[in-house]
A and B are shown apart, each in its own frame.
Chain A
Amino acid sequence: MEKINEMHIKFLSKSSNESFARVIIAAFASQMDPTLEEITDIKTAVSEAVTNAIIHGYEDGIGYVEMSAYIYPDKLVVEVSDKGKGIEDIEKACQPLYTSKPELERSGMGFTVMETFMDQLEVISGINQGTKVKMTKYIKNPRGKTEL
């Protein structure tokens, strides 16, 4: 199906940008007239992906996090990517409760939250190249596409 709208944004890997990314995605997705629950699901999943880019991708360093979003007639696609250290074993990383940073009080639930709150999750990663998380959310009753 054809793409109706898209946006791209790039910001520094600072934790204060986590809420910034949530506000941006909520504002962009609101064009589709999603329910409050759908918006909360999307915000939470984005928050997880952006937080991962900041704390795992760049660890103590600083780099750019990029977020892109695409509106289709029936779904929203969000991509969050970093150019950080990458994930060695994606399957292991996605397991509930797996974390490489228990000392930072991480619970290992980020990918599980993204998987549960979104309809599709795809993780692409390369060691020292970075990580891209692509998530799709179907919007149950999107506003008619002619209105967009």
Chain B
Amino acid sequence: MEIKGRKKKNTLMVSLKGELDHHTANQVRQYIDGILEDPTIKNIVMDIQGLNFMDSSGIGVILGRYKIISKRGGKLGVVNINAHIDRIFQMSGIYKLIKVYDQLDQALNDMGGY
């Protein structure tokens, strides 16, 4: 799993590349939570274009980060959802909580990161 993060104003942008399962979920969790120790970060945008596999462990990771960020009054957005991941997202009801964007720019705009 390749994880890249960047901070723009009060938004953390993370891009994930590889396979998100129970094994790699820990890596993603630790990476993001490490950065979230900075209390000025309110929102997270996850770019999952490079994710070529995800199972329910991915739902757990995203919901876990959502819980942290929503306590700060922030939002969690996901960009570039493929058809496979969309099916898992739909099943889990996660769309009621997270925001979906087609493009990173849109997400950042909405979060106020620009």
- Interface on A for B, CB 8 Å cutoff? 15-16, 18-19, 22, 37, 40, 43-44, 47-48, 51, 54-55, 96-97, 104-107, 109-110, 112-113, 116
Contact = CB atoms under 8 A, between A and B. Distances in A.
Given A51-B57, A105-B29, A19 B88 contact: no
A141 B1 CA distance: 33
Given A105-B61, A109-B59, A51 B92 contact: no
A19 B21 contact: yes
Interface of A is mostly: helix
Contacts, number: 64
Contact of B55 (A47, A104, A105): A47
Contacts of B55: 44, 47-48, 51, 110, 113
Interface of B: 19, 21-23, 25, 29, 53, 55-57, 59-61, 63-64, 84, 87-88, 91-93
B54 to A, nearest CB: 8
A16 B53 CA distance: 15
Nearest to A108: B56
Contacts of A19: 19, 21, 23
Nearest to A45: B55
A18 B23 contact: yes
A105 B64 contact: yes
Given A106-B60, A109-B88, 6 more contacts: A15-B22, A22-B53, A37-B84, A47-B53, A51-B57, A54-B22
6 contacts: A22-B53, A44-B55, A47-B55, A51-B22, A97-B92, A109-B59
Give the 10 A-B CB pairs with smallest separation, nearest first.
A15-B23, A109-B56, A105-B60, A107-B59, A105-B64, A47-B55, A51-B22, A107-B60, A18-B21, A110-B56
A99 to B, nearest CB: 9
Nearest to B59: A107
A113 B56 contact: yes
B100 to A, nearest CB: 18
A44 B57 CA distance: 11
